[in-house]
Amino acid sequence: MTSLASKLTVIVSAAFEEAGLPADLGLVRVSDRPDLAQFQCNGAMAAAKVAKKNPRAVAEEVAGRLKARGEFAKVEIAGPGFINIDLTPEAIAGHLSAMATDARLSVPEMAQGETVVLDYGGPNIAKPMHVGHLRAGIIGDTLRRIMAFAGYKTLGDVHMGDWGTHLGILFNDYIRSGEQDKVLKVDLDDPASVSALFEDMSERYPRASAASKEDEALRAQAQEATLKMQNREAPYYEMWQKVKAVSIVGMERNYGMLNVHFDLWKGEADVHDLIPPMVDDLKARGYAVESEGAIVVPVKRNEDKKEVPPLLLVKRDGAFIYGSTDLATVVERMQLYGPSKIIYVVDQRQGLHFEQVFRAARMGGIAPDAVELTFAGFGTMNGPDGKPFKTRAGGVLKLEDLIAMGVAKATERLNDANLAKDMPETERASIAHKVAVAAIKFADLQNQRQADYVFDIDRMVSFEGKTGPYLLYQAVRIKSLLRKAESSGSETRGFGNTEIQKFGDSDIPLALLLCELPDVFEGALNNYTPHLLCEYAYRLAQTFSSFYNSCHILSEEDEVLRGSRLTLCTLTLAQLELVLSLLGIEVPDRM
């Protein structure tokens, strides 16, 4: 089971082959001129180059072979050699009828349970989660869902920053001011105590960080504190344990609200003990060397056009750094999970760093060549001024505040609507939350992953036009319609039928679009680009809405047509729910 276009590709490729031409010229795609045809093949023009033949003559020959087949309503040649193809309604209907009985909606399973580790968290402990953490979380979680649906065994790792210098800065500040008990005496079972510490850290860290930037002595102290924490010395290690526990509570809450899931709650600290043997091993085999008092892995290659600096493993003061933790994390992942791929969903700006890590991992044999290491970087969230986003006050916008804004707006909208009056309070709250999360996630995911984009709060929590709530709305309308069909006993009037037997004029565009899903899914999977699924979901919702508006379904007199249309509705809903679930967006029953 695949898309209609790929089925046609098989047929047209065979026709090219019979004509003595390369089969891959037979690639068929959905036409970009729907007014001319449903599908097109451009291979005849390319054939002119490889076979030195007249493209129109090639097209004629191929088209001649195709015309003999029954499933084509039209095979035409246009322009320099486009082969334009229309299918018969029966052929389209047959394809959709098969899809309607397939739990995977014609999307093939491409993997056989190979393990994939996805790294998409990266929040630092001791700091509040802000909108800067949004992209990694939701893009990574979506990629995890996509790969899982493709048949991989997926492991999402939050990989928190829990071993770095920012903690030395923080702990040093507590100790200097004699307030370490604020950390050490926190009661993890008491939510008030937990949030009090969190508040204190959120206020303290920016201050301490700024101070250590100014003051060299302070900076040295902080580095020393970092080293002591990494060496598990008192009271640093005890403080670290408390801070980490408190921070995880906050992360779970934030990611929970966004419906972002992790299978592994690992951090940099988890690989600490793997680093010394790894460094020794790399030194023994000559890959790691001493340089300016530090230990580094030179990863430069002769063919490099750019300068690739060595990967720094151990700092002059003996402390570890992200180079060592990230490399050791590859060691750990290979040991524990044996993945076929490791995907890093990280800010683009860390691209060079991961290039260094990947090279070191290959050189040292830590990750064999067969293991795919992918840096799936994402662009920066800028403010309307084109600079990295800051609130008007110049600070960060907390994730919780953003979500609260969306929920407040959705609640207001619900209260304005008529159907909210007979709705229990819990359902209203649940819908408002789903709407808000749909808005936020879709607003982010519809952007191309790699590109920077402008973050606009008002746009992110808007519910009209090309937004998450619009998609929910269309899905909810179909649910409502199918409920009505069911309660009016439509099964005797065609409902419940998975056959599509008849099309009206307004049905064809929707029917054809439904056949594209497998190709869109494959594109999103292969390129790690969720925005393709967003585009598809939006087109589907829009095409459905247009269909819904132009014809009546339940009141359709023609029983066969009514049954076929209900099946189209069922399929549309199933696809919308599938795609939205891949995007981590839940559909309510009504809104």
In the region spanning residues 424 to 443, those forming contacts with RNA, defined by CB under 7 A, are: 431, 435
Indicate which single residue of 206, 277, 293, 338 sits in contact with RNA (rule: CB under 7 A). Answer: 293
In the range 85-144, which residues lie near RNA by CB under 7 A? Answer: 122, 124
CA distance 208 to 221: 12
Determine, following the binding rule CB under 7 A, whether residue 161 of this chain makes contact with RNA.
yes
Instruction: Give how far Cα 211 sits from Cα of 124, 216, 486, 516, Å.
Output: 19, 9, 67, 56
3-state percent helix, strand, coil for the chain, nearest multiple of 5: 55, 10, 35
Binding flag, residue 451, RNA (CB under 7 A):
yes
Choose one: 177-185, 236-244, 327-335, 383-391; the region binding RNA (CB under 7 A): 383-391
Q: Which residue of 294, 423, 429, 508 would you call a contact of RNA, by CB under 7 A?
A: 294
Q: Are 88 and 72 in contact (CB under 8 A)?
A: yes
What's the min distance (Å) between Cβ of 368 and RNA?
26
Beta carbon of residue 377, minimum distance to RNA (angstroms, whole number): 9
- Of 434, 431, 462, 432, nearest to 446 (Cα)? 462
Find the DSSP H helices in 259-304.
Answer: 275-284
Q: Any contact of residue 487 with RNA (CB under 7 A)?
A: no
Q: Nearest approach, Cβ of 112 to RNA (angstroms)?
A: 25
Answer for the pair 540, 548: CB distance below 8 angstroms, yes or no: no
**Residue 277 touches RNA, criterion: CB under 7 A:** no
Selection from 342, 361, 257 nearest residue 299 by Cα: 361
Least distance in angstroms from the C-beta of 265 to RNA = 16
Residue number, 307 or 425, with CB nearest to RNA: 307
DSSP per residue, 396-458:
PPBHHHHHHHHHHHHHHHHHHSGGGGGS-HHHHHHHHHHHHHHHHHHHHHTS-TTS-EE--HH
> Quick check: 386 binds RNA (CB under 7 A)?
yes
250 binds RNA (CB under 7 A): no
DSSP, res 36: T
User: Contact between 374 and RNA (CB under 7 A)?
Assistant: no
Query: Shortest distance, CB of residue 57 to RNA, whole angstroms?
Result: 14
Position 84 contacts RNA (CB under 7 A): yes
Out of 223, 247, 570, 575, the residue judged to bind RNA by CB under 7 A:
223
Least distance to RNA from the beta carbon of 148, Å?
Answer: 23
546 touches RNA (CB under 7 A): yes
Q: Which of 273, 419, 488, 491 binds RNA (CB under 7 A)?
A: 419
Q: Looking at 430, 450, 498, 501, which residue binds RNA (CB under 7 A)?
A: 450
Shortest separation between residue 114's beta carbon and RNA, angstroms: 24
**Structure token digits, residue 196:** 């009090």
| CB-neighbour burial class of residue 185 (10 A; exposed 0-12, middle 13-18, buried 19+) | exposed
Judged by CB under 7 A, how many residues of this single chain contact RNA? 105
The set of residues, in sequence order, having a beta carbon less than 8 Å from that of 107 and lying 6+ positions away, is: 1, 149, 517, 518, 521, 578
DSSP state of 294: E
Structure tokens at 317: 């003061």
Comparing CA positions, the residue from 44, 121, 32 lying closest to residue 77 is: 44
In the complex, minimum distance from the CB of residue 417 to RNA, in angstroms, rounded to a whole number: 6
Distances (CA, A) of 308 to 112, 357, 379: 37, 11, 22
Q: Within positions 299 to 358, which residues make up the interface with RNA, using CB under 7 A?
A: 305-307, 309-310, 312, 315-317, 321-322, 348-353
Q: Which of 465, 487, 489, 505 binds RNA (CB under 7 A)?
A: 465
Q: Does 564 bind RNA (CB under 7 A)?
A: no
User: Which range in 15-23, 67-75, 164-172, 192-200 contacts RNA by CB under 7 A?
Assistant: 164-172
